[in-house]
Amino acid sequence: MDDENIVEEFEDEDDSDGWEECDDADFEMQKVVCLFCDVTFSDAASTFVHCHDVHGFNIHLVQRLHSLDCIAYIKLVNFIRRNASQFCLMSSKVVFVIT
C-alpha cells in the first residue's frame, strides 16, 4: 500500500466510530485530598490553604524558593503524599531534594 492510499483510507474513516458525545454534566466533581491528612476539598486552592493553616506547609512558597518547574512540583506532591504518615507537622522551610 503506498502513501496516497494510506492517506485516503485514513480520510475515509468515520471519526465518530466508538466515540460518544458527552457534556460537562457527565463528569463528576473531583475531590482534592489534603497532602497530609484525609480531609477533602472541592478545589486545590482550598486544599493548599488548609495545608498552610493546619499543617504549616505553604506549597507555593516551597515552589518559589526552590524554583520548581512543573515536573519537580509534581514530584514534590507525590513525595509528600507517599511520606505524609512520617510527618507530624510540615514546615515550608524544609529543604527538599527532588531527584
Q: Which grid coordinates belong to 72?
A: 519537580
Q: What is the pLDDT of residue 98?
A: 47
DSSP β-ladder status, 32-33 and 40-41: antiparallel
Q: What share of the chain is helix, strand, coil (3-state, %, to 5)?
A: 50, 5, 45
pLDDT tens, the chain, 99 aa long: 554 554 455 455 555 555 566 655 555 668 899 998 889 999 999 999 999 998 888 999 999 999 999 999 999 999 888 887 776 544 445 544 444
The model scores a pTM over 0.95: no
For the chain, the structural domain boundaries read 25-99
